[in-house]
Structure 1
Amino acid sequence: MYDIIKSNPIFDGVSEEQLKKIFKKIHYRIIKYSKGESVFTESNFKSSMGIILSGMVEAQKLHYSGKVIILNRMAKGEVLGISALFNNKSYYPSRLVAKNNCKILFISQEELIKIFEMDFNILQRYLSFISDKIYFLNKRIEGFTYESIYERVLCFLENERERQNNQDEIIIKYSKQELAEYLCISRASLYRVLNELAKEGLIKWEKNKIRYL
């Protein structure tokens, strides 16, 4: 468990020994979810930060047409529920659903404050994590301001590359159809732009991986 927690940027640099000491002093819950089960809904959620110990969780939004839009996918080691913390909102901005069988560790807002009091560096990393979230959200919004589909796809790929530490090869968590819906474009348009980028010698793509050339 602790090696997974350490992989999250909020706890980066904290030794396993220190983590064990911290978690002995707080209350936390580990909950298992079956595939398709709701973790959070817009009206039923916990004021807690979750760390995915296994499996994958999908953030979804129901479109007025009845279509489900995938906002994000979070895998082992990633954090969820940040939007439910330190505010007085009575609703959660999206629905979180188990993409497959998963196990999540939950730390309540009160217990999280205790962790911050025990280790100020964790508080600093938490604030940095929130700042990064806001930064990438703004970058995503920027992508939707582009009228050109080519620019919108390119903006998404550049943002993903930055999110994945500027690796030459990035992993896309979505199928082509899901990515097209995420970008609010048709699947045919997405394929056309990816083919254009490949012909220009900028990328090489196959399945869920894109390599920058």
Structure 2
Amino acid sequence: MFGKATRSRPQAPPGAAAAGADWSPYPRLEDAARVYFLHADVALEAIDGVLGRRRVRGFTLERVVDLTDAGTSVWQEAAVCDGRRLILWHSEELADDTAPGGTVLDSSVQVLPLDTIGHVGMRTLVGRDERGGRVDRGVHLVLATATPHELSAVAPEPGSALPASAKLRPEAFRFSKSLDDGGAGQIARLIAFGRLMGRLVPGV
């Protein structure tokens, strides 16, 4: 869906490693994406096209590697806040026998005004190290909107005279990091991102 970026690719930041390296030491979105994403050019082009001249206030990155019958599949996601919008990019490799290499990259971007987010919830798992010092062992962040995402029927209790009802689940975006999945640096970055969203989302 997105063409190759026309601008020249900058040099990787000092100490950059192969895709999948820890992105948490890099405060700039571009540097973090280039050390973490397999398809950084696609991600940055999609995000920059929406971001324009607005400044990135905070971001978090995620990638999941799945082993399937067709081989290895990589799912990648970026959540970026520019102070008034939440920009979500994600990609997934899809099997396509007609494409060279047998796969294509499904890349998509979604933009949400911050005033459409009605709930910011963050749960932090706090532990202690061997010396008794505090250690953040994990964090779960939920950003929920009022947009209906799923409507399911709820059957009444047996023998109840009440009619069947419906349960509405709003659209929600979930992010998580742990010591095993991302490490302490990415936990800290996600906590900072969650706190930023809590400060900026109107009415929260």
Flag the structure with higher strand content: 2
User: By the TM > 0.5 criterion, same fold?
Assistant: no
Range of TM-score over shorter length: under 0.3
Structure number with bigger Rg: 2
- Calculate the TM-score normalised by the size of structure 1: 0.24
Flag the structure with higher helix content: 1
